[in-house]
Amino acid sequence: MQENRFRIWVLTLAVCACSLLAKADLPVPAPDNGGLTLPPGFHALVVADKLGPTRFLAVAPNGDVYIRNTNILVLHDTKGDGHLDRVGSFGVDCGKGQGSTGITFHGDYLYYTNQNTVYRYKMTPGQAIPTGDPEKIVQDLPNSGGHEAKSITFDADGNMYIDVGSPFNVYSDHDRAFGAKGKDATEFLKTYGGIWRFSGDKPNQTQADGYRFVTGERHTIAIAMSPVSKQLFGVMMGRDQLNTVDPADYTAEDNAEDDAEEMHLIKDGSNWGWPYSYYDPTKKARMLAPEFGGDNKKQADPGLYDDPVVAFPGHWAPLQMTFYTGTQFPAKYLNGAFVAFHGSWNRAPLPQGGYNIAFVPFDSKGMPVGTYEVFADNFAGVPVIKSVHQAKYRPSGVAMGPDGSLYVCSDSGRVWRIFYTGK
C-alpha cells in the first residue's frame, strides 16, 4: 500500500514536472545574472527575493521550492516565467536562527529540523502544503546554543544521518581566549561533535537510539550522498582563531590560510580529529591544535584521524551541499557536488573568503578528484570583503531543480535560479 502510494506520488509529480518543462523551459536570464559571476554559458535569474532570513532549501519534483526560515515557505512559478511566488507557509516547532535549517524530500515525505528535533510531513500529490501534524522522527538532540543547526541526509538504504555540532571552537578552558587549554573531550564527544545514524522512518527516536557513525568533528551540515558511489560526503566547519589562542606561534595569515574547511568521506567509525587537531592545507598535514600543545610545527599522531578528501580555504563556512544529477549542465558537472559557502568572518585582517558556490569534481567511481573550483561568485557584490557587513548577500542554500537548474538562496531571502544555455 505504502509502495503504491509512493508510485502514484512519483508518477503524478513526474507528469507535473514534464508539463512544467514543456511550458516554461528555461527562463529569460537577468541581463546582469542577478549580480552573480558564472562560468561561460551559464546564466541566472533572481526568482524570489526579500523572503526574510532563510537557510536551506529543497526543490520538489514538480519544481516548487521549499525554503527554511522560521517555518517552511513554499514558492511556486505561477506565471510560468521562472519567477517564484510565495504561495504559502507551514510547519510547527521550526526553531529560529541557525536552528531553523534542515529540509529535504525523501520518499513521499518532507523532513525538516529545528535545533533539537527532526520532523516529517507526509506530502500528497497536488497539494503544495501538507495537512495535519508532522510526525516527530528524532527528538531531544543536544543543543547548547552555537552551531546548533542540523541538516538531514539519507543513504541509499534509507538511513538518516544527523550531525550534532559543537558549540565550542575547541573543547577547552576559556575557549577562544589567549592561552586556552584543551580538555579531554571523550565524554563530550559521546553526545556532541559527531554524525549519528538513525532510522528514517521510526518515530520518536532519541540520540540513544542512534548510532555514532563519525566522531571528532566540529560541525558538518553540508552532507550529501554521491549518486555514483552511494557514499556520503560532508564538509566540516573547521576551527577558528589559531592566532588569538596562540599569537606566539601563529600569525593572522596562518589563521586565515592554514586551517582548512575539510571535506571528508563519511565512513563508519571515522574520527576527523576535532578538537585535538586541524588540517593545514599549506603543509598538507594534520596538525596538533595549540590548545593541546601544538605550535604550528607539531603534527597530530599519525593514523588516528582521517585526512580530508578535499581541503577548502579556512573559514569559508560550508552550509548546504548537493550533488548534480541533471543533464542540463555540461557533462563535467554530472555527479559532482556543489557547496554553498556562507563566507568567512575569521580571516580579518586579511580579506574575507567564501561567499560563493563551489563545485567539487568527482570521478567515474563517485570519489572526489581532490580539487574544487568556484562556480558562482560575487554574492558579496564587492571585489574585496574586509568585513562581513560589506557583503550584500551570503549564500546559505543550494539544491537542484527537476530540470537540472541550480537553485541558490542567500541568508537574506533572495533566491537565484542558475541555468546553462551555452550562449
Q: Give the residues lining the site for another protein (CB under 8 A).
A: 97-98, 145-147, 167, 169, 174-180, 241, 243-244, 247, 252, 255, 345-346, 348-349, 386-390, 411
**Distance set, CA 28 to CA 92, 129, 133, 301, 420 (Å):** 36, 28, 39, 55, 11
Question: Between residues 97 and 326, which has the closer beta carbon with respect to another protein?
Answer: 97
Cis peptide before 349 (omega within 30 of 0): yes
Minimum CB–partner distance for residue 166 and another protein (Å): 11
Phi, psi (5° rounding) for residue 24?
-100, -35
CB of 419 to another protein, least distance (A): 30
Shortest CB 240 distance to another protein, Å: 8
Query: Which is nearer to another protein, 178 or 211 (by Cβ)?
Result: 178
31 or 383: CB nearest another protein: 383
Name the residue nearer to another protein (CB basis): 245 or 415.
245
CB of 384 to another protein, least distance (A): 11
Q: Closer CB to another protein, residue 77 or residue 240?
A: 240
Cβ of residue 231: shortest distance to another protein, in angstroms? 30
The least distance separating another protein from the CB of residue 159, rounded to whole angstroms, comes to 29
**Contact by Cβ (8 Å): 96, 70:** yes
- State the minimum distance, in angstroms, from the CB of residue 416 to another protein: 20
Instruction: Between 296 and 352, name the residue whose CB sits nearer to another protein.
Output: 352
The nearest distance, CB 178 to another protein, in angstroms, is 5
Q: 106 or 176: whose CB is closer to another protein?
A: 176
β-strand pairing of 261-266 with 232-235: antiparallel
For another protein, the closer of residues 286 and 315 by Cβ is: 315
